[in-house]
Amino acid sequence: MKAVVYKGPFNVAVEEVPDPRIEHPSDVVVRVTSTAICGSDLHMYEGRTAAEPGIVFGHENLGIVEEVGSAVVSVAQGDRVVMPFNVACGFCKNCIAGYTGFCLTVNPGFAGGAYGYVAMGPYRGGQAEYLRVPFADFNCTKLPPGDEHETDFVLLADIFPTGYHGCHLADVSPGETVAVYGGGPVGLMAAYSALLRGASRVFVVDRVPERLDKARGIGATPIDFEQRNPVEQIHDQLGGEGPDKGIDAVGYQAQSHESGREEPAIVLNSLIQTVRATGALGVPGLYVPADPGASDEAARQGQLLVAVGKMFEKGLRMGTGQTNVKRYILQLRDLIIAGRAAPGFVVSHELPLEQAPEAYEKFDKRVEGYTKVVLHPGS
């Protein structure tokens, strides 16, 4: 079959690879109809991880079940399914507690697995014609048949739940005010989720006009951090007070407007300044324990200068970590089906699988409006 294969920094190719097959009685094989490129794929693409050439990318996958292992009971051939990006067993201590992003079974020696991602276990990615799904009863989420909402549904694999996870970590509640740093796909999904959860006002901090426009379009207040200090802008809008909650949808590759360079803790520290005392921070944005490309030794080891004193003085709480997609996916799916959520507005491009190399290149450069790309194998 054809698949998007990593060849080396800034280089992917669509190549023939062996078809996946049932390896364990709990597996299914899915024919992929939609698979999105994630911002986190770019970490590998840019060569800033330990990913070796040969890996097949893709952890945001949706398709039709083609083949079913003998132990599978709830999924049948022909079912339309979306797969959380986390590969999880469903029965370990963490999965039972709902922490399916930290499964202890699927990636021995580590808490958590994923498709097509370096160090996340032996699971090939879904930017391909077919995908093997282990523990299929647990890892497949059924969708209505047909192709309705395809673009919305594929976002259930990762970024819609990930934005929602930010709100969950910050416990965003009805009537609250929320500051979201980062207006990329995850930031927009966080703002969108905050509004779904009943927030009274949501601010989205970014500098890219298209992102700020999209934020405005969903009912959030855009804050352009190139205009003025975003903390001040938000406090001004709230009569001098900080918002109740804050979400970091940027992570460690944050850039400072002043210096024009990466300052990996700038968003965290801005949030600590922004949010009011007694508030909470949700951090779905990625921070890594080892970043060989960082500019100083501490950051290379994942240590950042954080305003812990101010955080304590304000009595802030902070939640971090990758999303436990399974915890939210049914509810978010049902919002889409009911017509109450349509996250697909963040998708800028839908392309055949074959155009993956071009899509990676443009998405990585953020050119021509490439903000979120969905690939359609076999289209």
Which 340-359 residues touch its own copies, going by CB under 8 A?
340
Q: Where are the alpha helices (DSSP H) in 170-208?
A: 185-196
- For residues 275 and 246, the answer to whether their CB atoms sit within 8 Å is yes
7 binds its own copies (CB under 8 A): no
Cβ neighbours of residue 63 closer than 8 Å, sequence gap 6 or more: 30, 31, 32, 33, 34, 80, 81, 126, 131
Instruction: Pick the binder of its own copies from 18, 108, 309, 369 (CB under 8 A).
Output: 309
Q: How far is the CB of 162 from its own copies (least distance, A)?
A: 13
What is the identity of the amino acid at 347?
V
Instruction: Pick the binder of its own copies from 124, 214, 326, 372 (CB under 8 A).
Output: 326
Across the strands, what pairs with 6? 12
What is the SS3 assignment for 345?
helix
**Candidate segments 183-191, 223-231, 323-331, 347-355, binder of its own copies by CB under 8 A:** 323-331
Site string for its own copies, 242-281 (x = CB under 8 A): ----------x------------x--xx------xxx---
| Choice between 137 and 361, CB closer to its own copies | 137
User: Of 210-249, which residues contact its own copies (CB under 8 A)?
Assistant: none
- For residues 84 and 326, the answer to whether their CB atoms sit within 8 Å is yes
The pair of three-digit structure tokens given for residue 243, joined into one six-digit string? 């918002």
CA 190 to each of CA 47, 95, 172, 180: distance values in angstroms, whole numbers, following the listed order: 27, 24, 10, 7
| Choice between 101 and 121, CB closer to its own copies | 101
User: Of 22-41, which residues contact its own copies (CB under 8 A)?
Assistant: 24-26
Return d(Cα 11, Cα 8) in angstroms, integer: 5
What is the identity of the amino acid at 374?
V
196 binds its own copies (CB under 8 A): yes
Q: How far is the CB of 362 from its own copies (least distance, A)?
A: 28
Instruction: Pick the binder of its own copies from 73, 227, 236, 295 (CB under 8 A).
Output: 73
What is the identity of the amino acid at 364?
D
Across the strands, what pairs with 373? 349
Return d(Cα 265, Cα 56) in angstroms, integer: 31
137 binds its own copies (CB under 8 A): yes
Q: Return the closest-CA partner of residue 173 out of 98, 277, 280, 314.
A: 280
**Candidate segments 59-67, 154-162, 319-327, 366-374, binder of its own copies by CB under 8 A:** 319-327
188 binds its own copies (CB under 8 A): no
User: Of 111-130, which residues contact its own copies (CB under 8 A)?
Assistant: 111-112
- Binding residues for its own copies, rule CB under 8 A, total 87
48 binds its own copies (CB under 8 A): no
| Choice between 36 and 272, CB closer to its own copies | 272
